[in-house]
Structure 1
C-alpha cells in the first residue's frame, strides 16, 4: 500500500523501541534473578560455555555428531534445572527471556523477508492517528450514522430523506467493505449538515483497517498547503503534492471553500485529473448545488465529476440544527 516513507520509518522506530525495551527488561530481570538465586548464575555460565563449544565444533569442522548430541543433552538438562529453580522461587519459566509484544517476529516487524502482521497493524494505527489530526475519525463510523435524524416525510420532489439516506448508507458501507485500488471515485453533494463528511470518514475508517493509506483534508487546507509547497514555504504544511496525489484514497472535503482564484482551480483540476489518470479512488464532497459548481469551475473539472465519479445527492434538513 502507498504509505509514505515517513510513516514506514515511524513504524520501524516504534518496533525497534519495543524490541530494545523487551531485551533491556529481560536483562534487568536476569540480573536480579541471578543475584537472588546464585545457582542460576552458574547455569547461565554453563549454557554460555556450551554455546561456545558448539560454535567451535562447526568452526573447526570436527566430527560433530556425537559431541553435538552430548552438548545438547547437557544444555537441555541445565535449562530444565533453571526452570525448576525459577518455579521454586516464584518466577515463571520464561522470566529471563524477553517478553515481546509480537513473539512471531520478536518485534522486528519482518519474518523471512516479509512484513509481519504487527508492522501492518502499527502502520494502520499511525494512519488512523494521522487522519484523526484533521477529522473526528472515531466518531464517524457507519454504526454511528443516525438515520433517525432524517425525516420520513416526502419533500416537494417526492423524495423521502430517510429512505435516501438509508440507501446512501448501504451503498457506502458496501463500497468500503469491497474497497480496492480499482474502486470508483465518489461525489457527495447536497446541503450542509446532511452527513456527507460523516460517511466519507466512515469509509475512511474501514479502508484504513484494510491496510490502505488515506489522506483527508478540506479543499481549502489542501489547496493552501500545495500552494505553499510550490513556493517553498514548507515549514508548517500538513499536506504535500506527493501525499495528495499518491495516497490510496483521498477524501477531499468541502469542495468550493478554497480561495476563489486561478491557482486553486488549477490545483483542484490537477488533483481530480491526475488521480483519475492514475486510477486512484477519490471521495469529494461539497455543499454546493451542481449548477453553482458549474459557475465556479470550468468544464474540465465538472465534466470529470459528472462523467467519472459516482454521484450521491444528499437531501433533507441540516441535522446539526435538530
Structure 2
C-alpha cells in the first residue's frame, strides 16, 4: 500500500501557467454563455411568442421598457393605437427576461380557447398563473364574455399576488378599456380587476403606424 504522500500526490491539481488558466476560464465562460443562450432560445420557442416577433430586441423600444426589465417590480402596461410597436416591445421584454425565467405570450382569446379545450380542469390556467413572465396581448380587443372575464380575473389576481412580472398591451385609453371589459350589469369583478391593473407602470406609445412608415 502506498504512503499517504504518494496517494495525495496522485490527486494533486496539475500545475498550469497563468495563460493556461486564463484559457480554461475563457472556455468555461464561453460554455456557460452557450448554455444560457440555449436555455433562453428554448424558453422563447415554448412561449407562444409569434414567429415574427422572436427577433424583437429592446433597442429602439421606449427606455422605460428596458428599465422595467432590469427591475420588474410591478406590472407593465403598454398602451397606444394600433401599429405603434407595443407587441414588439412586449415580446422584446419577454425575450430579455427569458434569460432567467420561463416566459409566456397569449391573448385572452387564446387563454379562453386553451381553458375550454382543457374542459376547465384544475390546471387549465397553471401555465399563465405560474409563468416566470407573462404577456397578455391586446387587452380589451376581443369581445368580452363572463367566462373570459373570470379567466382574466384569475390571472390578474394570481400574478398580482405572486409579484411575477406581467405585461399587458392595449389599444385603448383607460376608460375605454374598462368599458370594453364590462359584461352585463354587475361591474364588481371589473372593478376588482382594474383596481389591480392600476398598479401597472403605464408606457404610452405615440406616433404613426410603424407598418405605414415602412411600407
- Give 1:318's match in structure 2, choosing from 185, 190, 209: 209
Structure scoring higher RCO (CA < 8 A, sep ≥ 6) equals 2
- What is the aligned counterpart of 2:195 among 267, 287, 303? 303
Q: TM-score, normalised by structure 2?
A: 0.73
5 Å-filtered alignment, 1:79-94, equals none
> Shift of residue 132 of structure 1?
6.0
| Partner Cα distance (1:118, 1:314) in 2 | 35
Note if contact 1:137-1:205 (Cα within 8 Å) is conserved in structure 2: no
- For the pair shown, the structure with the greater C-alpha radius of gyration is 1
Higher helix share: 1
Q: How far apart, CA to CA, are the structure 1 residues paired with 2:38 and 2:119?
A: 31
Report how many residues are paired.
Answer: 184
Alignment of 1:106-121 (within 5 A): 120-121=36-37
Query: Residue 47 of structure 2 aligns to a residue in which SS?
Result: helix
For the aligned residue pairs, the C-alpha RMSD in angstroms reads: 3.0
1:251-270 to 2 correspondence within 5 Å? 251-270=135-154
The aligned residue for residue 102 of structure 2 is 213
Match of 1:222 in 2: 111
Listed as ranges, the matches of 1:1-322 within 5 Å are 64-65=1-2, 120-131=36-47, 134-143=50-59, 145=60, 169-176=62-69, 178-179=70-71, 183-209=73-99, 211-231=100-120, 240-297=124-181, 298-306=190-198, 308-322=199-213
Instruction: Tell which deviates more after alignment, 287-296 or 193-202.
Output: 287-296
For structure 1, list consecutive stretches of 5 or more residues without a partner in the other structure. Answer: 1-63, 74-102, 108-115, 146-167, 233-238
Q: How many angstroms apart in 2 are the aligned matches of 1:267 and 1:133?
A: 20
**Shift of residue 201, structure 1, vs aligned partner:** 1.1
Residues 78 and 168, structure 2, Cα contact 8 Å, conserved in 1 = yes
